[in-house]
Homo-oligomer: A and B are copies of this chain.
Amino acid sequence: MAEDVMVAGVGMHPFGRYLDSSLKDLVRVAGLRALLDAGIGPKDVQMVYSSNAMAGMLQGQEMVRGQTVLREIGIEGVPVVNVENACAGGSTAFAQAVMAIRSGAADVVLAIGFEKMFVADRSRTLDALESAADLDVVAGLGIQFTAVYGLRLRLRLADGSITRRDLAEVSVKSHANGARNPYAQHQVTVTAEQVLESRCIADPLTLLMCSSICDGAAAVVLARGGVLPRSERPAVRVLASASGSGFTLDPAGGPSGADLCARRAYEQAGIGPGDVDVAEVHDAMAPAELLYAEALGFCPPGEGGRFFRSGATALDGSLPINPSGGLASRGHPVGATGLAQLAELTWQLRGEAGDRQVRRPRIALAQNSGGWLEGESAAVNVHLLERMRPWT
């Protein structure tokens, strides 16, 4: 990767339930905070990638979603590209922004994601969510993400490498992190007993393991290295950006989409999983973290449960995972999630994460997956970020 692409600024609208807020309200907060954080104004943005997944079916704004919300914060005239990749839309916007800078098309690019899933009729939200897979295949089956995750975890419970206690404890850990995150939807701690006793959603998954319907927005300003004035804060650089999309899984086994993208990202960066100091992974169901730790190479295949039980992934562990609380606790407003991960990691690398700050991280990894196709994610993005200044 020849050219340095820097994370110049990040911002979020807290995730939660905002019945009286519009998409524009959410975008205004996240967008202006990111610009302020980058020390620039709306007129400095040369290009925008906008990520939203559901405003067509939920708000009726089927087209030009980005343009309509961005004009409100004074961004107009510049190229705006609306991207959608289900739950991986936010990181897709980020990946495209990196690409736009590398291509020479722009020096300062805004990636912004927003979603408003709370609408009067919840069945519409569920219908839209169902279409994160091929409707010709799944329509009416009633099989959604939760069930797919549940089926995968049952295999692992059967072989004994993960226990029901692990499933509960990983949710306890996520909630403990989320309780320290002012941007999180669920800022409460829970006990393993509460998790196990909460309503069963798709065995072995219970309510307190699952991400919920959520409103929110997140934004990241990316800039070509050297273009924006130096800030007092430690600079954060994009080390790698790797993407893939769903494929038919080899019945004989083989690497998953997250595996493949992680390998590509490590190769781009010239580092290995052992170099990662903190990670945000796509735990739409908290226990997914156990599987992703394996796919991303943080531990050997089959060792996700053991790795977690060792305490490595806790805030004070050797490789903290989801310090933000993850999707299950921070919340999962579909088009915004991937950018919220990158905002969290930027704060962590800069040492600005407050009560949930992990210890002196230098390399951070974000993994964001979306949709599914024959059992594999329809879109996957893995990004690696680096803190440029040594910790003192």
Which A residues contact B (CB, under 8 angstroms)? 2, 22, 24, 48, 53-54, 56-57, 59-65, 67-68, 71, 76-86, 92, 95-96, 98-100, 102-105, 127-128, 131-136, 139, 243-248, 257, 260, 370-371, 373-374, 378-379
Docked complex Cα distance between A244 and B71 (Å): 13
Q: List 25 A-B contacts (CB under 8 A).
A: A53-B62, A54-B62, A56-B56, A59-B135, A60-B131, A63-B85, A63-B131, A63-B370, A64-B86, A64-B131, A68-B135, A68-B136, A71-B134, A77-B245, A78-B245, A79-B244, A79-B245, A79-B379, A82-B83, A83-B84, A98-B103, A99-B100, A99-B105, A100-B103, A102-B104
| Of B22, B57, B76, B100, the contact of A373 (CB 8 Å cutoff) | B76
| CB-nearest residue of chain B to A127 | B60
CB neighbours of A76 from chain B (8 A): 245-248, 373
Chain copies in the assembled complex: 2
Q: Separation in Å of the A249 CB from the closest CB of chain B? A: 11
Docked complex Cα distance between A105 and B264 (Å): 12
Q: Separation in Å of the A204 CB from the closest CB of chain B? A: 26
Docked complex Cα distance between A84 and B95 (Å): 16
Which of A57, A64, A135, A245: most chain B Cβ within 10 A? A64
Docked complex Cα distance between A134 and B102 (Å): 32
Q: Separation in Å of the A256 CB from the closest CB of chain B? A: 11
CB neighbours of A370 from chain B (8 A): 63-64
| CB-nearest residue of chain B to A102 | B103
Docked complex Cα distance between A206 and B226 (Å): 55
| Of B68, B77, B81, B86, the contact of A134 (CB 8 Å cutoff) | B68
| CB-nearest residue of chain B to A88 | B64
Judging by beta carbons under 8 Å apart, are A62 and B246 in contact? no
| Of B54, B59, B82, B99, the contact of A85 (CB 8 Å cutoff) | B82
Docked complex Cα distance between A22 and B134 (Å): 13
CB neighbours of A68 from chain B (8 A): 133-136, 373, 378
Docked complex Cα distance between A203 and B76 (Å): 30
Judging by beta carbons under 8 Å apart, are A80 and B128 in contact? no
Q: Separation in Å of the A382 CB from the closest CB of chain B? A: 11
CB neighbours of A373 from chain B (8 A): 64, 67-68, 71, 76
Judging by beta carbons under 8 Å apart, are B80 and A83 in contact? no
| Of B71, B83, B98, the contact of A81 (CB 8 Å cutoff) | B83
Docked complex Cα distance between A257 and B78 (Å): 10
Docked complex Cα distance between A95 and B248 (Å): 29
Given contacts A57-B62, A63-B128, A102-B105, 19 further A-B pairs with CB under 8 A are A48-B245, A54-B63, A56-B56, A56-B128, A62-B128, A62-B131, A64-B378, A67-B373, A71-B374, A76-B246, A76-B247, A77-B247, A77-B260, A78-B244, A80-B245, A80-B379, A96-B96, A98-B103, A102-B103
Q: Separation in Å of the A203 CB from the closest CB of chain B? A: 26
Judging by beta carbons under 8 Å apart, are B60 and A53 in contact? no
| CB-nearest residue of chain B to A106 | B99
Q: Separation in Å of the A209 CB from the closest CB of chain B? A: 23
| Of B78, B83, B86, the contact of A83 (CB 8 Å cutoff) | B83
Q: Separation in Å of the A236 CB from the closest CB of chain B? A: 20
CB neighbours of A64 from chain B (8 A): 84-86, 131-134, 246, 370-371, 373, 378-379
Given A370-B64, A373-B64, A79 and B243 contact (CB-CB distance below 8 Å): yes
